[in-house]
Amino acid sequence: MKPLMLLFWIFVVSGHTFVLQPSVNVTVMQNVSAEGDLWAEQRFDRLMEALNTEEEKRSEEEVTMQEAEEETDTVEEHGMRITKRVEQTRETDVKSKVVAENEEQQGQNLDEHDMSEVILTKPILTNATPPTMATASQPVLNLLTKSVTVPSSFPFTSQGPAATTETLSIITTKLHIGNSTAEATGATLLVNESSTNDDLRVELHVMNSSKLHPLEEVSVKVTAMAARAGPTAKAPLSTFMVKSKNKPKDNMTLKAKKKKVLKVKAKKTKVTKKAKKVKKLKRERKLKPTTPSYFPYFEDHYCPSECSCYGRVVQCSDKHLDKIPYGIPYNSRYILLMNNHIDSIQLKLLSEYDSMEFLVLSNNHLTDETIEGSFKGIKSLKRLYVERNLLRSIPNDLPVTLEELRLDGNQVNVMSDAAFGRCPNLLILSLSNNSLGNKSSTIPPGVLLPLGKLRTLTLSYNQLASVPLQLPLSLRELYLRGNCIQRLQGDMFWGEAELQVLDLSVNRLTDKGLGKAALLNASHLESLNLEGNLLKQVPLHLPRSIKTLNLEGNFISNIGKDAFISMPQLEHLGLARNKITKVALGAFRVLPLLHQLDMSHNALQQVPRQLPLWLHSATFSHNKIRVIPRDAFCWGRGNESPLSRLVRVHLEYNLIDLGHLDTLAFRCLRGFQVVQFY
């Protein structure tokens, strides 16, 4: 075959090196015989397989790189190692490819039936300038070739049986051009071989050379023209497109490729999810908040900022609060909110505290309207203090479990059955310093009878004119100090009461007000306080069970011989601040258990005679005593008297002349240090 002549038109820009993109238009004009069709088709199939293999490798490399980048975001150090390994692997593959291609180029010999094989890859263009014609003075092209077989479907026309075998080759071209400054917009490589009967023209049109990427499509346009008559006659053009993303030649290849793509996508998705999860955990660890992201209101370990918590005791007193602090733990047992400015209670707030036993709301600004329904449904409340507020009535929604209720210092003027019918377990009720018993209202008889377990009732400092009637028989302590009671009625109790302490001090009781039937049913009474009344003599007909009797601050002027004969168990007797001038001989001798006697601030002129020998303390200060009788402290048969048990005798602020003092009056005492004269 006649030698082939290649003519290249190359548009180059000096100073820049560019890489030929996969998008290449190749026009091949050849005269080929029909006998080379089969051979060309086989070569073309090999080319397609090579292109598909290269594309798959590139896709795998891309997936590997992307996975490495995602793992780098998740675990930075591990990702850097993977990236380095991938880059090293890729560089090794590229070097291996270059070496293989060089070896293939050097070992390849074109025979007379072979066309010039041109491998089109990535021409590198530096310092692009407007396209110019390559001349002999320009640098020589370095070509690495890979054979690409032209398919049999490509139309050829040939005039002889000895048709040459055409091979399309992709040229790996690297150009080193002179220094030029203009930017190249395109380059055309033309291979021209002509003879008398066969004209071969190969045009390689390289488009978009300024922005070429290795993963773009490869377009190969081949035009063949065979001359039928003479060197100027040309065959009709025939074109075909070759792309890197070719369709598989059979269904098996397509399925395999799809399966591989799905595997890659699944692996990529799995790696992405894992990377995101690890990245999220890492971010959470780095950005741990100094305070919790939520406020654990009502939790066991939480304590409002306005309060101080000690175990299950929440102390919120004296904090100038206008409402109950939000978030007090539900497991609190004692909640103390006294001395604030709380004027209302959030509805159904307190019912959530199943463990609360003690609630203190004293000294606030609560009214009947603002606490209505607030105490309903509290399961364990036993003690409720709502002292010194603005209540006018007793709440009607008290819990059944309540045992102690203190409403002192309010404006309560009404007591109703409905209020006490809800708390039958109440043991202590305190309503002192209210307005009970004023002109507009009184306490109905039997209003407290529903309180069958009541032990202590305090109604001090109200405006009661009489003791409430029909009190519960379970009552043991009754405090009525500071009222306007003038008489004690016999029907105070219906039946024998358990009353042990009765305080009627600072009232207006007279001698007639304490008749025989006054304390008839109080047979267990032990302490009676009648201080500050209008009594002129020691009351008669008192229960024999009395142990403490306080008659201070009355108008008693003398003590008769039988004044205490009905009180054999009396231990403490107070007669201070009266007008006593005379005490009958042996008036206290009938009190064998008397331990303490106080007759200070009276008008006595001498110490009473025959005081009990078991007396421990006697006070006669602030009197007008001048004489201490010889049988005042020491008396008995003959001159011998038993040793007195007195440990303290107060005689201060009297008129005693120590120079004329009879020393025999102290003969039974333990020493003169017992007596206090100054």
| Span 500-536, pLDDT tens digits | 999 999 999 999 988 888 888 899 999 999 999 999 9
The structure tokens listed for 283 are 């971010």
CA torsion through residues 154, 160, 165, 167, sign: negative
pLDDT class for 551, splitting at 50, 70, 90? very high
Residue 14 pLDDT > 60, yes or no? no
The structure tokens listed for 7 are 């003519």
> For residues 514 and 488, is the Cβ–Cβ distance under 8 A?
yes
521: alpha, beta or left? (left if phi > 0; alpha if psi -120 to 50): alpha
Distance CA(425)–CA(105), nearest Å, equals: 110
Q: Which helix (H) or strand (E) holds 101?
A: helix 76-107
Closest residue by Cα to residue 552 from 582, 522, 572, 526: 572
Average pLDDT over residues 31-45: 59
Distance CA(278)–CA(431), nearest Å, equals: 67
| Bigger pLDDT: 61 vs 310 | 310
Give bridge partners of residue 618 from the DSSP assignment.
Answer: 597, 649
Q: What SS3 state is found at 324?
A: coil
Q: How far, in Å, are 88, 105, 434 from residue 100 at the CA level?
A: 18, 9, 111
Q: What is the pLDDT of residues 562-571, one digit of tens each?
A: 999 999 999 9
pLDDT at 154: 39
What type of residue sits at position 124?
A: I
Distance CA(535)–CA(557), nearest Å, equals: 10
User: Could you identify the residue written with the tokens 């290449």?
Assistant: 24
Residue 325 CB neighbours (<10 A): 18
CA torsion through residues 621, 626, 628, 632, sign: negative
Distance CA(168)–CA(146), nearest Å, equals: 8
pLDDT class for 54, splitting at 50, 70, 90? confident
Beta-carbon contacts of 487 under 8 Å, excluding residues fewer than 6 positions away, are 466, 509, 510, 512, 513, 514, 515, 518
Average pLDDT over residues 7-25: 38
User: Could you identify the residue written with the tokens 């440990």?
Assistant: 647
Distance CA(547)–CA(526), nearest Å, equals: 5
Residue 86 pLDDT > 80, yes or no? no
Average pLDDT over residues 408-417: 91
CA torsion through residues 102, 107, 111, 114, sign: negative
> For residues 153 and 173, is the Cβ–Cβ distance under 8 A?
no
| Bigger pLDDT: 464 vs 86 | 464
Distance CA(279)–CA(275), nearest Å, equals: 6
pLDDT at 345: 93
Distance CA(48)–CA(53), nearest Å, equals: 9
332: alpha, beta or left? (left if phi > 0; alpha if psi -120 to 50): beta
Residue 626 pLDDT > 80, yes or no? yes
Q: Any idea what DSSP says for residue 627?
A: B
> For residues 628 and 606, is the Cβ–Cβ distance under 8 A?
yes
Q: What is the pLDDT of residues 437-463, one digit of tens each?
A: 876 667 888 899 999 999 999 999 999
> For residues 617 and 646, is the Cβ–Cβ distance under 8 A?
yes
**Region of poorest pLDDT, from 229-233, 301-305, 588-592:** 229-233
For 136-171, give one letter per residue: b (16+ CB within 10 A) or e. eebeebebbbbbbbbbbebbbbbeeeebbbbbbbbb
Q: Which helix (H) or strand (E) holds 97?
A: helix 76-107
> For residues 675 and 648, is the Cβ–Cβ distance under 8 A?
no
The maximal CA–CA distance of the chain, rounded, in angstroms, is 183
Give me the long-range contacts of 384-388 (CB less than 8 A, separation at least 24). Answer: 384/359, 385/338, 385/359, 385/360, 385/361, 386/361, 386/362, 386/410, 387/362, 387/363, 388/362, 388/363, 388/364
318: alpha, beta or left? (left if phi > 0; alpha if psi -120 to 50): left
Distance CA(465)–CA(489), nearest Å, equals: 11
pLDDT class for 328, splitting at 50, 70, 90? very high
**Region of poorest pLDDT, from 146-155, 241-250, 517-526:** 146-155
Average pLDDT over residues 186-191: 38
The structure tokens listed for 589 are 């001798």
Give bridge partners of residue 25 from the DSSP assignment.
Answer: 205
Q: Any idea what DSSP says for residue 673?
A: G
Residue 382 CB neighbours (<10 A): 18
Chain-centroid distance of CA 474 in Å reads 49
pLDDT class for 601, splitting at 50, 70, 90? very high
% of the chain at pLDDT higher than 90: 41
Q: How far, in Å, are 228, 324, 358 from residue 307 at the CA level?
A: 110, 10, 16
Q: Any idea what DSSP says for residue 136?
A: T
377: alpha, beta or left? (left if phi > 0; alpha if psi -120 to 50): left
| Bigger pLDDT: 261 vs 503 | 503
Give bridge partners of residue 479 from the DSSP assignment.
Answer: 458, 503
Distance CA(160)–CA(365), nearest Å, equals: 122
**Region of poorest pLDDT, from 9-13, 109-113, 408-412:** 9-13
Residue 19 pLDDT > 50, yes or no? no
The structure tokens listed for 619 are 């006070």
Q: What is the pLDDT of residues 383-402, one digit of tens each?
A: 999 999 999 999 999 999 99
| Bigger pLDDT: 328 vs 91 | 328
**Region of poorest pLDDT, from 175-189, 288-302, 408-422, 623-637:** 175-189
> For residues 83 and 72, is the Cβ–Cβ distance under 8 A?
yes
User: Could you identify the residue written with the tokens 């006659």?
Assistant: 233
Closest residue by Cα to residue 458 from 414, 501, 490, 425: 501
Determine the length of the chain.
678
Closest residue by Cα to residue 624 from 601, 643, 650, 645: 601
Average pLDDT over residues 472-476: 95
pLDDT at 393: 93
